[in-house]
Amino acid sequence: MKFFRRHQHTIYQGSAHVGKDALRLVPLGGIGNVTKNMYVYEYRVDGKLRDILLVDCGVGFPDAEMYGVDLVIPDVRYLSDKRDKIRGLVFTHGHDDHIGGIPHIYPKLGRVPMWGTKLTAAFANIKLKEQAIRTQVQPVDFGQELHIGPFTVSFVRVTHSIPDASNLIIQTPIGIFYHGSDFKFDFQPLDGKRSEIEKINAVGRRGVLCLLTDSLGSERRGFTPSEQVIGETLEKELSMCSGKFLFTTQSSNISRIQLAIEIALKHGRKIAFLGRSIDQNTEASLKIGYMRFPREAVVRDRDLKRLPPMKQFLVVAGAQGQPGSALSRIANDDHRFVHIEEGDSVVFSADPIPGNENSVSALIDELYRKGARVAYSNIMEDLHVSGHGSQGDLMLMLSSVGPRYIFPIGGTYRHMMQYRRLAQDLGYDKRDVLIPEEGEILEFRPGMPPKVVQTLELENVMIDGLGIGDVGEIVLRDRQTIATEGIVIVIVPMEKSTGRVTAEPDIVSRGFVYMRQSEELIGKAKRLVMESLKLRKGRIIDWQFVRKQISGNLDEFLARETGRHPLIVPVIVEV
């Protein structure tokens, strides 16, 4: 399907201070990567910062090299000296890559008012409550306008893989920005609420300075299929299941969960929810009327043993193979109430997030070993459809908005570049499609093309357990070394009162060599350590120097003997 660029000339609703006003766009996440979305809109007059509007505050997920890291959040150091200028934070929808960072980042922002559509606010408030943060995201309706400093924000309903997803119309003193976060055009959405195309067309007629647009599906032809196609596949799978039926998807995808529940009830099955995220999201959705099913159809996990397997329909968290999730514990026979048996079926209605493929594959293998029938998108169509628009959806949005400039977001660099090619097919010059590198700040001025005015040094802020930002590149490098080369610990006994080495050092190897089969190597290493300690010269004062000497000498020796570079950790034990 071919679309044509509608607006050759855009009318801007700008300030009278032509040339003095400026709008800076600062992406702290969400460009060049799919997750960790956070955008800063800055209004400036005569070069001075007046007001800031924040859009989204998401998390990213660790890649294979981030050993032990749970989540990655945006680097907000840029905002640390600008807190008094932040007028508000608006969320586009309730996925973790748009709201998940808020409990970790809100304390760094000050008492910032926050808004989101009803379901978005409900999900964000769950996360704030979990961290005992005593504030709330305020729910808004789609017909509501927010006046936040010099910004006027209105919400456009769009279809996505979660209800209440919105794009934002952001009116600024220099022009209108359309923040087109994740969307597709589903003309048969499960909740019956279609994208507000007329509202999109209307803002296009007013004139849009810049369209920020989802670009993740820019490589796929046509339009993204409707969620409705999943229902037929679920019906078929359920009719063939003689035992328990386990259904797993993203816990935020409540429309799909609602669809699955309706099919299960039609087949006379009882529903059980397994996993904290599933429990919390369904409960919140029920309270505000976004899910509907009879309470008596739900059973507690502890009561499942009194229910025949063929009457059980389990909605289970863990579609991404997360260790410790309900599905992972079930697959590994570590769940108190659910065990996989012959005749059970497990349906994955989600594709792995990039980086999770191995975890999901291992989980599927384990479920097969336990005797389950497993259905997933690699072997069966129509178990999952993307929430992101394909080329047809993206070009329909672009044609409707007709912006002066385009800024692809929410995809990798290749998705952004492919979007540029699509825009060129609609008549845009490649210079009109802005593709900044991570950390580059774009400045818009009336009557002038946008330009990069500053580049930030952004870092991945990693969350490991309760620690936020205390895992840096050095720690990651050590973890990578341990994972690939192993660790060698050198234990040196020292007399506390005199500072003298009292005995031969000990060496412990983990993940490097098996010590019982490497006695000769370990013996040579001990002698090398003793030489580094210079025992005959008596008391050792500069232990920092000695540690470096031990590490350097031992690393060189082990590399020569084995071709490997384990992490070497000298430890002084006072006796």
Give me the DSSP letters along 180-246.
E-S-B--SS-TTS----HHHHHHHHHH--SEEEEE-TTTTS-S-PPPTTHHHHHHHHHHHT-SS-EE
Specify burial of residue 268 (Cβ count, 10 A radius: 0-12, 13-18, 19+).
Answer: exposed
- What average pLDDT does range 367-375 have in this prediction? 96
Each residue's pLDDT tens digit, 387-421: 999 999 999 999 999 999 999 999 999 999 999 99
Tell me whether residue 214 is one of the annotated catalytic residues. Answer: yes
> Given this model, what pLDDT does residue 479 score?
52
| Catalytic residue chosen out of the listed positions 164, 388, 393, 464 | 388
More confident residue, 500 or 163: 163
Beta strands 86-90 and 48-55, pairing class: parallel
Token pair 């300690």: residue: 533
E strand or H helix that includes residue 490: strand 487-494
Q: How far, in Å, CA of 402 to CA of 211, rounded?
A: 8
Percent of the chain with pLDDT over 70: 87
Position 15 scores a pLDDT of 42
Q: Is the pLDDT of residue 183 over 80?
A: yes
Q: Which domains are assigned to the chain?
A: 21-222+386-464 (3.60.15.10), 229-375 (3.40.50.10710), 486-574 (3.10.20.580)
Q: Is 84 a catalytic residue?
A: no
How far is Cα 216 from Cα 388, in angstroms, rounded to an integer?
7
DSSP assigned state of 226: P
**For all residues of the chain together, what is the average pLDDT?**
87
pLDDT for residue 470 is more than 80: no
**Alpha-carbon distances, residue 319 vs 216, 242, 283, 337 (angstroms):** 21, 22, 19, 19
Give the residue from 354, 260, 284, 276 showing the smallest Cα distance to 318. Answer: 276
Query: In the structure encoding, which two tokens stand for residue 457, read together?
Result: 């040094």
- Check whether 537 has a pLDDT greater than 90: no
Nearest to 193 by CA among 262, 138, 255: 255
Q: Is 407 exposed, middle or buried, given 0-12, 13-18 or 19+ CB atoms closer than 10 A?
A: buried
Angstrom CA distances, 427 to 180, 399, 400, 403, 413, stand at: 20, 11, 14, 12, 22
According to the model, what pLDDT value does residue 462 have?
Answer: 65
Per-residue pLDDT band at 143 (split at 50, 70, 90): very high
pLDDT tens-place string over residues 447-462: 899 999 999 998 877 6
Report how far residue 169's alpha carbon sits from residue 371's, in angstroms, rounded to the nearest whole number. Answer: 51
Q: What is the pLDDT of residue 398?
A: 98
Question: What band does 353 get if pLDDT is binned at 50, 70 and 90?
Answer: confident
Q: What is the model's pLDDT at position 523?
A: 80
Eight-state DSSP code of residue 506: E
Report residue 532 CA to chain centroid gap: 47
Mean pLDDT of 329-338: 94
Which position among 214, 344, 393, 464 bears the catalytic label?
Answer: 214
